[in-house]
Amino acid sequence: MQIVDLRSDTVTQPSAEMRAVMAAAPVGDDVFGEDPTINELQTKMAELTGKEAALFTASGTQANQTAIRAHTQPGDEVICEGWAHIYNYEAGAPAALAGVQLHPINGRLGVLDPDMVEAAIRPGDHHFAQTRLISLENTHNRWGGTVYPLKEIKKIRRIARKHRLKMHLDGARLWNASIASGTSIKEFAAQFDSVSMCFSKGLGAPTGSVVCGSRKFIDRVHLYRKMYGGGMRQAGILAAGALYAIEHNFERLTEDHRRIKALAEALNQLPGFVVNMQTVQTNILIVDTSLCRKKAPEIVEELTERGIKMIAFSPTRIRAVAHLHITDNDIDRTIEVMKKLQTG
Ligand SMILES: *Cc1c(COP(=O)(O)O)cnc(C)c1O
């Protein structure tokens, strides 16, 4: 049985061509700063984001957490959205590694109300933690791959300036946000002091992320990357996969967006399934199954038995993600299988 794996855009396999490029990559000891392929990738990412410098990291979590550590002191507070990846899916690292506390604010489609952000900033009084950083996420994973519009980011930026706060962007899927909105990565990045981005999501590279920022800031991130165990040696093999992915798999993200939208529209025609089309902006869809006779995990199990893989996000929500390997046929087959589930 052919499997349609819609669990995540991280399940992709490197193509034969990508593997060949990786195998042939010139490498050196990156802890000495001597890996030419990593240096090329870092230069490219600094250019793409319009920042002075960039640093390759093992994962998106390592990128976010080294950045948070470099922006803060233990005891500081970081404002983020209630469903933010740094808050929900990074193993408590802000507390464990940076010693900071997060101040989550519930957003709408992952977008924060500027007044609520301003109200959350602590007064400069000895009773309080010092608010130091605001972290935004674009696209917002848990909200369904929603784009944080540039106009909205600018409102938060104005508040950050007024209160002398730093801004970090968790841009694991900023690639998708840029393709979907027509706003360049550079325009997004200009509103932030630091930006993290992943090569291992929609771009389809096997491993790796990056942090971009000022030279001075990246120098501090470098220290924490070493401290957090991220000093890799001949990792240019991985950077080569990332360089290949940027070149070949960035523009095509629009196909993933088109396919997930088609799936979302079709699911909305089936009894029991509700997809809020406002949240379907990129390569992720969240389908609400509250009206189904079956719970989300049960539906996911039945789908898996029929060769369609998705993830139950909660007892009433299922996530599906389009990526490099998902074809129009896969979407059609998924719709056919879901029609027959008798969930209504
Ligand atoms: C995937 C992801 C990350 C990083 O995850 P890793 O698995 O550590 O690479 C960070 N932020 C968001 C929004 C993500 O989706």
Q: 46-72 pLDDT, tens per residue?
A: 999 999 999 999 999 999 999 999 999
Q: Which atom of ligand 1 is nearest to the CA of 61?
A: 8
pLDDT value at position 301?
A: 97
pLDDT value at position 124?
A: 87
**Over the stretch 108-147, which tens digit does the pLDDT of each residue have?**
999 999 999 999 999 989 999 999 999 999 999 999 999 9
Q: Is the CB of 202 under 6 A from ligand 1?
A: no
Could you tell which of 141, 195, 319, 323 is best to mutate to test the pocket of ligand 1, judged by most ligand atoms within 8 Å of the CB?
141
Burial (Cβ within 10 Å: 0-12, 13-18, ≥19) of residue 126? exposed
Could you tell which of 9, 89, 170, 210 is best to mutate to test the pocket of ligand 1, judged by most ligand atoms within 8 Å of the CB?
89
Residue nearest to atom 4 of ligand 1 (CA): 60
Q: Is the CB of 8 under 6 A from ligand 1?
A: no
**Over the stretch 11-41, which tens digit does the pLDDT of each residue have?**
999 999 999 999 999 999 999 999 999 999 9
Q: Is the CB of 141 under 6 A from ligand 1?
A: yes
Q: How many CB atoms lie within 10 A of CB 267?
A: 22
Q: Is the CB of 9 under 6 A from ligand 1?
A: no
Could you tell which of 9, 12, 61 is best to mutate to test the pocket of ligand 1, judged by most ligand atoms within 8 Å of the CB?
61
Instruction: Taking the CA atoms of 248, 251, 255 and 257 in sequence, report the sign of the dihedral they define.
Output: positive
283 pLDDT band, cuts 50/70/90, is very high
Q: Mutual orientation of helices 174-181 and 253-267 as an angle, nearest 10°? A: 80
Q: Is the CB of 257 under 6 A from ligand 1?
A: no
Q: Which atom of ligand 1 is nearest to the CA of 90?
A: 8
Q: Is the CB of 61 under 6 A from ligand 1?
A: yes
Q: Is the CB of 198 under 6 A from ligand 1?
A: yes
What's the token pair of residue 186?
């550079």
What domains appear along the chain, each with residue ranges and CATH number?
16-249 (3.40.640.10), 252-343 (3.90.1150.10)
Task: Report which residue type is found at 329.
Answer: N
Q: What is the mean pLDDT of residues 277-288?
A: 98
Mean confidence (pLDDT) of the chain? 97
CA distance 78 to 103: 6
pLDDT greater than 90 at residue 344:
no
Whether the Cβ atoms of residue 77 and residue 130 lie closer than 8 Å to each other: yes
**Over the stretch 200-256, which tens digit does the pLDDT of each residue have?**
999 999 999 999 999 999 999 999 999 999 999 999 999 999 999 999 999 999 999
Q: Is the CB of 135 under 6 A from ligand 1?
A: no
Task: Report which residue type is found at 312.
Answer: A
1 pLDDT band, cuts 50/70/90, is confident
Q: Which atom of ligand 1 is nearest to the CA of 200?
A: 9
Whether the Cβ atoms of residue 131 and residue 163 lie closer than 8 Å to each other: yes
3-class secondary structure, 300: helix
pLDDT greater than 80 at residue 343:
no
Residue in the block written with tokens 């129009």 = 328
pTM for the model stands at: 0.97
Instruction: Kindly write down the DSSP assignment for every residue of 131-164, as one continuous string.
Output: EEEEEEESSBTTTTSB---HHHHHHHHHHHHHTT
Q: What is the mean pLDDT of residues 326-343?
A: 94
Whether the Cβ atoms of residue 18 and residue 203 lie closer than 8 Å to each other: no
Per the DSSP assignment, residues forming a β-bridge with 131 are 77
342 pLDDT band, cuts 50/70/90, is confident
CA distance 210 to 199: 8
Report the separation in Å between the CA atom of 44 and the middle of ligand 1, taken as the mean of its atom positions.
21
Q: What is the mean pLDDT of residues 288-311?
A: 96
